[in-house]
């Protein structure tokens, strides 16, 4: 009987670290869904969008101080991202150390499409988030940059003259889509039926989810670029 390394590796890998990746991944996905839906409120107009941003700041009052919820979310997201990257790094290093033929490394990496896109996709997403926070949270890199006017910031950001910003967002969101497709597929495959049929279903669900999320995010910059939102 021939058992390939690829079939065996998930069983050999550290279950605890995979669980950390899955739990933090789920938390990040929940944020991404909520954030995407919130962004779509831009289609309801400036007042409604700004009011939504204000509501986020006051969420949990009077129990929490102003922006208390946002800070809890920030700490939670940061912890989730750090744990997600930490677990991924340890798993990758262990997988590399477990490889019997080290000099075949390049060939293996090239052959492993998912692993390669996950690593570089993760780096692109991380760089994007840093830029994005300086752009739309602090306003440092935004032409308007007034945290109390998020609608105006978004419209200024994706103005046709700043097409390169839309291009950068698009590339980052597509990278996010690839990352999510593989991440969601891996999680569903671990949780669901480990049969060819189950795997096929997991692949389809992950693809539909990634495409829907990407489309939801991309609607906003393209609506501004085309003048639908102004
Ligand atoms: C075109 C797509 C996107 C738009 C229009 C958008 C819009 C915004 C806006 C307006 C804010 C500031 C909210 C406020 O301070 O009231 C924000 C914050 C943020 N966004 Fe996005 N976003 C997009 C995509 C993304 C993506 C793909 C991610 C993650 C990969 C992301 C992660 C964040 C984070 C972490 C914050 C900071 C939240 C905080 O203040 O704690 N965004 N976004």
Give 3-56 pLDDT, tens digit per residue: 444 544 444 567 889 889 999 999 999 999 999 999 999 999 999 999 999 999
> Could you tell me the CA-to-CA distances from 109 to 64, 97, 163, 206 in Å, in that order?
48, 14, 34, 23
Torsion angle defined by CA atoms of residues 221, 209, 185 and 188, in that order, rounded to the nearest 10 degrees: 140
pLDDT reading at 59 higher than 50:
yes
* Token pair for 47: 């007042």
**First-residue to last-residue Cα distance in the chain:** 63
Q: Which atom of ligand 1 is nearest to the CA of 147?
A: 15
Residues in the ligand 1 pocket, defined by CB under 6 Å: 35, 39, 53, 70, 73-74, 77, 125, 129, 132-133, 136-137, 147, 150, 154, 169, 173, 176, 217, 220-221
Distance (Å, whole) CA 199 – CA 66 = 45
Choose one of 137, 141, 148, 156 to mutate for the ligand 1 pocket test, by most ligand atoms within 8 angstroms of C-beta: 137
Check residue 99 and give its pLDDT: 73
Check residue 203 and give its pLDDT: 93
The mean pLDDT value for 107-123 works out to 68
**pLDDT digits over 131-150, tens only?**
999 999 999 999 999 999 99
Check residue 3 and give its pLDDT: 47
Choose one of 132, 163, 173 to mutate for the ligand 1 pocket test, by most ligand atoms within 8 angstroms of C-beta: 132
> Chain-wide mean pLDDT for the chain?
88
Q: Which residues contact 129 (CB under 8 A, 6 or more apart)?
A: none
Q: Which atom of ligand 1 is nearest to the CA of 172?
A: 27
Query: pLDDT band at 129, cuts 50/70/90?
Result: very high
Measured in angstroms, how far is the CA atom of residue 193 from the centroid of ligand 1?
A: 35
pTM of the model: 0.88
What DSSP character marks residue 64?
Answer: S
Choose one of 29, 136, 140 to mutate for the ligand 1 pocket test, by most ligand atoms within 8 angstroms of C-beta: 136
The percent of residues in the chain predicted with pLDDT above 70, rounded, is 87
For atom 27 of ligand 1, the residue with the nearest CA is 173
Distance (Å, whole) CA 25 – CA 114 = 16
Query: What DSSP string describes 98-162?
Result: H-S-GGGHHHHHHH-HHHHHHHHHHHHHHHHHHHHIIIIIS-TTSSS--TT-HHHHHHHHT-GGG
**Is the Cβ–Cβ distance between 39 and 217 less than 8 Å?**
yes
Distance (Å, whole) CA 179 – CA 75 = 22
Query: pLDDT band at 111, cuts 50/70/90?
Result: very low
**pLDDT digits over 164-211, tens only?**
999 999 999 999 999 999 999 988 887 877 888 999 999 999 999 999
Among 187, 183, 181, residue whose Cα is nearest residue 204: 181
Among 230, 228, 57, 214, residue whose Cα is nearest residue 157: 230
Q: At what angle do helices 196-225 and 150-157 cross, to 10 degrees?
A: 90
For atom 23 of ligand 1, the residue with the nearest CA is 217
Q: Exposed, middle or buried: residue 121 (CB in 10 Å: 0-12, 13-18, 19+)?
A: buried
């Amino acid at each position: 009987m021939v058992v390939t390394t690829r079939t065996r590796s998930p069983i050999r890998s550290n279950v605890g670290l995979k669980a950390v990746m899955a739990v933090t991944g789920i938390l990040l996905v929940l944020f991404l869904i909520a954030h995407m839906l919130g962004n779509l409120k831009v289609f309801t107009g400036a007042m409604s969008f700004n009011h939504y941003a204000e509501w986020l700041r006051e969420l949990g009052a009077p129990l929490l101080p102003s922006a208390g919820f946002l800070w809890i979310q920030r700490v939670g997201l940061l912890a989730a991202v750090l744990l997600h990257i930490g677990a991924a790094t340890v798993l990758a290093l262990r997988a590399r150390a477990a490889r019997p033929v080290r000099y075949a490394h390049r060939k293996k990496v090239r052959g492993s499409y998912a692993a390669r896109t996950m690593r570089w996709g993760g780096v692109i997403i991380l760089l994007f988030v840093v830029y994005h926070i300086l752009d739309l949270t602090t306003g440092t890199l935004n032409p308007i940059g007034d945290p109390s006017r998020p609608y105006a910031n978004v419209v200024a950001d994706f103005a046709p003259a700043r097409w390169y910003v839309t291009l950068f967002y698009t590339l980052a969101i597509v990278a996010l889509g690839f990352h999510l497709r593989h991440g969601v597929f891996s999680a569903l495959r671990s949780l669901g039926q480990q049969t060819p049929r189950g795997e096929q279903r997991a692949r389809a669900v992950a693809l539909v989810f990634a495409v829907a999320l990407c489309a939801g995010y991309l609607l906003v910059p393209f609506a501004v670029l085309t003048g639908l939102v102004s």
